[in-house]
């Protein structure tokens, strides 16, 4: 089989990249392959589906903000039901945390990001089920819990259906004549000399090399350009040819709750039109909750830091103990309604974390384009990433993001990367 | 066992870090452990031993230049026979390569780096055995070889004995009362809650964590600070606790030649006081040769790029075919004296490559300091890296390098890293 561009991976980055490549040059023969049976089945569809434009790095802000605008356009004008629900993001902080982030918060506000700062008394009114002050509570002290002194609320933030989003891009790509082939697993990337001599041992060190496609479980696919957009699996393909994916996989678990006891937690006042719990981040351990309006449930996750290992798992699972004998201890102190409530469902996915700057990486190398290292916010930046990867393919220095904003392609690259520390990470 | 600072790895970065920590605070109980039977036995002693201050990134220049000054001081005033031999580095380029590097070369010269540019006729006189112009040669065209139009020669460059260098620092460390324990392999790094509760399941996500030492094949070692300086093995220890080493291991092979036929190759005119072949880099594939004066031989290496895999190998070996059926084809065209000459010896080591900027990484995280990602030039920067790691331990924003030059510690860190593209990489 032969094509102009082969995209390995039908997750968010693969489908957006393929879509913008095809849209910009419909004459190109573009094929997406994925080892799973459908789009987004690696980690995209396992995402908690939070979205936000609240980032302190200008790069992250631009990538997300313009992507969110396009997602809204898809929902409102292109007819895709991706369940974008602007319930907001509420980051809860104690005094010290807030002080250390004050400069970053001001930067976001000055940049025009819709961010509102609330004090404790306001938060108590808005989220009545939340305990904000542990007073002299001995257990809270033993657990090292932090009071809630401030809430930083982002308005252009909320929840979307990541699975539906990936399928929407796939559908648009197919509408343009793009091809998709599932259950097709890449075994290895082909590196060939640019000018083959037909001598055993090629490619030799002194030959100019080029990536010419891949071997799969269904045979060889030759491609003018091979796009590696397979998330946490990228190292499995890139390591054997000595290219870097700039990411390491880390498991993240999600737990869904539906119980009359936690109904008070789901009710808030004045934060969004549904009176629903925003995606709320507790001031400790990156514990986050969000209301999932379509199923009337609450989803809970936690930003695992050390000692949560970096490891590629084929089929990561939620751990039974992780909620009941770990997150729960702290959660129930902030939201006492969770007492004795057990998850009705749980699952796990993996983040592809670039620990340098928690920002995606896009580079080109001799017939290959890599799009990856989403670092947990790749879905909400997906539209911009697809446009940037397409610009890189077409040799442009700047990509045009949705809305007309320009973006320097090399800012996400390797050797001329723009490194900006991101202070708002979960 | 218990110590203030445990240094894992007795390679160049481990011994320099331990030495400067101990030198600055002799009261600290500092222990170096290594899984091998002596210092430098991982990859340091397998190095080709080239050193240079020719770097286009200011960071790399400062790290190397000041380290080389200290190495010279060790040799001339401290009595260590580390065989520093300023034979120079000669980078050979064709017209196009030279043109694209012209700005970087000017930058080095303006910065005060002793660099001389030679044209073809000068190079032909200086290195008589070298073929610089392939004319209409059909084989050269088929191989895609490049003519040599320019040579960029660095004077504060040459060859040293990496094994002796590591042993010198180890000896100084021991003189100060530092302890070293070999054949001691780390099994895992301990991550504990800062305040232990004695409940099963600790550390919980909501607890503040700290690294408290390691388990080894000889039992537990508790440490106030654990320094991870074990080169390509760092990921094996850091991945399981979810910290990043920012490097991937790649094999590099070296071949030693001693044959009357190549004696003409070893003779040069006007480049160094011995009339010896400088460390010479051919304009193709990063093939490098250097004269090894102590044994009257030539060492040859090659900068493997794609498709040389990233992979951790416990005991990497040189591949028989790699010289005879690969590098040789190009080498013999530039140096015909190599015809039918076979290596008398060969070995292999591994580079710990940080593909972002080919520059080392030093960071601190809750009781742990990481020093690594040498990217093939860690030895020649070793003195500065040890001083910077020590400054990080003592909480200083700036380190003082040998000669008094200041260096911002965060420049080698993660979130505030100073990224500068390096144009002179082998």
How far is the alpha carbon of B75 from chain A, nearest alpha carbon, in Å? Answer: 36
Whether residue B198 lies within 8 A of chain A, CB to CB, comes out as no
Instruction: State chain A's mean pLDDT as an integer.
Output: 97
> Among B364, B410, B295, which Cα is nearest to B59's?
B410
Task: Evaluate if pTM is beyond 0.90.
Answer: yes
Instruction: State chain B's mean pLDDT as an integer.
Output: 97
Residue B420 has what pLDDT? 87
Compute the average pLDDT of residues A256-265. 97
pLDDT in tens, A14-65: 999 999 999 999 999 999 999 999 999 999 999 999 999 999 999 999 999 9
pLDDT in tens, B191-221: 999 999 999 999 999 999 999 999 999 999 9
Give the CA angle between residues A335, A336, A337 to the nearest 5°.
90
Whether residue B250 and residue A242 make contact (CB cut-off 8 A), yes or no, is: yes
**Residue burial B382-409, b: 16+ Cβ < 10 Å; e: rest:** bbbbbbbbbbbbeeeeebebbeeeebeb
Residue A421 has what pLDDT? 84
Residues of A in contact with B411 (CB under 8 A): none
pLDDT in tens, A140-150: 999 999 999 99
Chain A, 61-80: which have a CB under 8 Å from a chain B CB? none
Residue A425 has what pLDDT? 87
Whether residue B143 lies within 8 A of chain A, CB to CB, comes out as yes
Chain A, 43-62: which have a CB under 8 Å from a chain B CB? none
Q: Which residue of A has its CA nearest to B422?
A: A415
Please report, rounded to a whole number, the percentage of residues in chain A having pLDDT higher than 90: 96
Mutate to test the interface with B, among A356, A365, A410 (most CBs of B within 10 A): A356
Q: Which residue of B has its CA nearest to A142?
A: B197
Whether residue A312 lies within 8 A of chain B, CB to CB, comes out as no
Contact B63, B53 (CB under 8 A): no
Whether residue A308 lies within 8 A of chain B, CB to CB, comes out as yes
How far is the alpha carbon of B22 from chain A, nearest alpha carbon, in Å? Answer: 29
Contact A303, A426 (CB under 8 A): yes
Residue A320 confidence (pLDDT) above 90: no
Residue A277 confidence (pLDDT) above 90: yes
Q: At B195, phi and psi to the nearest 5? A: -115, 105
Compute the average pLDDT of residues A117-133. 98
Mutate to test the interface with B, among A60, A207, A307 (most CBs of B within 10 A): A307
Partners of A2 in the β-ladder = A222
Residue A426 confidence (pLDDT) above 90: no
DSSP string, B116-136: EEEEHHHHHHHSTT-----TT
How far is the alpha carbon of B18 from chain A, nearest alpha carbon, in Å? Answer: 25
Whether residue A306 and residue B246 make contact (CB cut-off 8 A), yes or no, is: no
Whether residue A232 lies within 8 A of chain B, CB to CB, comes out as no
Whether residue B305 lies within 8 A of chain A, CB to CB, comes out as yes
Whether residue A306 lies within 8 A of chain B, CB to CB, comes out as yes
Chain A, 359-398: which have a CB under 8 Å from a chain B CB? 365-366
Residue A387 has what pLDDT? 98
Residue A76 has what pLDDT? 98
The ipTM estimated for the assembled molecules is 0.96
How far is the alpha carbon of A170 from chain B, nearest alpha carbon, in Å? Answer: 32
Distance, in Å, from the CA atom of B324 to the CA atom of B320, rounded to the nearest integer, reads 7
Partners of A93 in the β-ladder = A150
pLDDT in tens, B268-293: 999 999 999 999 999 999 999 999 98
Q: Which residue of A has its CA nearest to B204?
A: A326
Higher-confidence residue of B293 and A390: namely: A390
DSSP string, B2-43: EEEEEEE--SHHHHHHHHHHHHH-TTS-EEEE-SSSSTTTTT
Whether residue A307 and residue B207 make contact (CB cut-off 8 A), yes or no, is: no
Whether residue A204 and residue B330 make contact (CB cut-off 8 A), yes or no, is: yes
**What are the structure tokens assigned to A291, written together?**
């209301």
pLDDT band at A252 (very low <50, low <70, confident <90, very high): very high
pLDDT in tens, A328-383: 999 999 999 999 999 999 999 999 999 999 999 999 999 999 999 999 999 999 99
The set of residues, in sequence order, having a beta carbon less than 8 Å from that of A92 and lying 6+ positions away, is A123, A130, A148, A150, A151, A280, A281, A282, A283
Q: Which residue of A has its CA nearest to B324?
A: A201
How far is the alpha carbon of B17 from chain A, nearest alpha carbon, in Å? Answer: 23
């Amino acid at each position: 089989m032969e094509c102009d561009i082969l995209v390995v991976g039908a997750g968010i980055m693969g489908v957006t990249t393929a879509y913008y490549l095809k849209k910009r040059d419909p004459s190109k023969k573009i094929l997406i392959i994925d080892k799973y049976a459908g789009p987004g089945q690696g980690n995209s569809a396992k995402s908690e589906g939070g979205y936000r434009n609240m980032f302190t790095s200008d790069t992250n802000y631009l990538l997300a903000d313009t992507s969110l605008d396009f997602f809204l356009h898809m929902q409102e004008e292109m007819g895709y039901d991706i369940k974008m629900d602007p319930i907001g993001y509420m980051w809860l902080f104690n005094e010290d945390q807030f002080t250390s982030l004050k400069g970053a918060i001001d930067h976001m506000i000055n940049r025009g990001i819709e961010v509102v700062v609330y004090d404790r008394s306001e938060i108590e009114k808005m989220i009545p089920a939340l305990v904000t002050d542990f007073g002299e509570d001995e257990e809270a002290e033993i657990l090292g819990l932090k009071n809630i002194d401030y809430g930083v609320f982002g308005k252009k933030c909320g929840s979307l259906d990541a699975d539906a989003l990936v399928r929407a891009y796939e559908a648009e790509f197919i509408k343009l004549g793009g091809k998709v082939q599932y259950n097709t697993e890449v075994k290895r990337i082909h590196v060939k000399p640019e000018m083959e001599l037909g001598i055993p041992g090629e490619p030799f060190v002194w030959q100019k090399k080029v990536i010419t496609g891949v071997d799969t479980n269904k045979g060889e696919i030759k491609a003018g350009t091979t796009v590696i957009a397979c998330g946490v699996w990228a190292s499995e393909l890139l390591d054997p040819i000595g290219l870097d994916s700039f990411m390491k996989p880390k498991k993240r678990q999600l737990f869904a709750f539906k119980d009359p006891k936690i109904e008070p937690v789901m009710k808030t006042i004045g934060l969004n039109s549904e009176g629903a719990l925003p995606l709320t981040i507790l001031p400790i351990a990156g514990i986050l909750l969000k209301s999932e309006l379509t199923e009337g449930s609450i989803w809970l996750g936690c930003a695992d830091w050390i000692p949560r290992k970096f490891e590629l798992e084929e089929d990561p699972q939620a751990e039974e103990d992780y909620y009941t004998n770990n997150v729960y201890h702290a959660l129930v102190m902030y939201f006492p309604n969770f007492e004795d409530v057990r998850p009705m469902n749980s699952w796990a996915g993996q983040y592809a974390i670039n620990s340098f700057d928690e920002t995606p990486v896009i580079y080109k190398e001799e017939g290959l384009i890599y799009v990856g290292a989403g670092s947990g916010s790749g879905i909400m930046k997906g539209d911009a990433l697809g446009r940037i990867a397409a610009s890189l393919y077409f040799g442009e220095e700047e990509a045009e993001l949705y809305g007309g904003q320009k973006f320097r392609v090399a800012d996400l690259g390797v050797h001329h990367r723009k490194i900006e520390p991101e202070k708002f990470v979960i």
